Amino acid sequence: MEFVGSLDGAATPEEAGERYLDFALRHPHEYKLFFQLEYELFYSHRSGHKGLKPGRPGVDAMQRKLAKKFGGAPADYARLTTSLWMLAHGAAMLLIAKTILPQNVKQARTIFSASLAALLKTPDL
């Protein structure tokens, strides 16, 4: 999967966060479709896949990167990984929907990078 390979190939958690956003922006339709349908596919009572949780290779990749950077076990970084995902997903959806106007994308990316760096200063989150 291109997405997971992109995260695995990142040298740092910061780079992985940037790559996550880049991937979402390069594949906006697929990105939106997955998150719009994930609940129906895997958790809804109507789902033929109910109970079959999707793999978490992206989460696992980020947790490994955080453990390498800060020490400890990858599972120690579940909350921080969720915080980073919420930041990246929110930024992706705002940019994909053009809620952030195209002329403001560069500034938004700078703010995203700064927010990512700030979260990574609090690894015990």
Q: What is the mean pLDDT of residues 12-22?
A: 95
Residue 6 has pLDDT above 90, yes or no: no
Which of 74-85 are b and which e, b meaning 16 or more Cβ less than 10 Å from the residue's Cβ? bebbeebbebbe
Whether residue 50 is predicted with pLDDT greater than 80 in this model: the reply is no
Least confident of 29-43, 74-88, 91-105: 29-43
pLDDT of residue 38: 74
For the chain, domain boundaries: 2-119
Q: How far apart are CA 29 and CA 33, in angstroms?
A: 6
The answer to whether the CB of 90 falls within 8 A of the CB of 52 is no
Over residues 20-31, mean pLDDT: 94
User: Residue 123: its pLDDT value, please?
Assistant: 76
Q: Could you tell me the pTM of the whole model?
A: 0.84
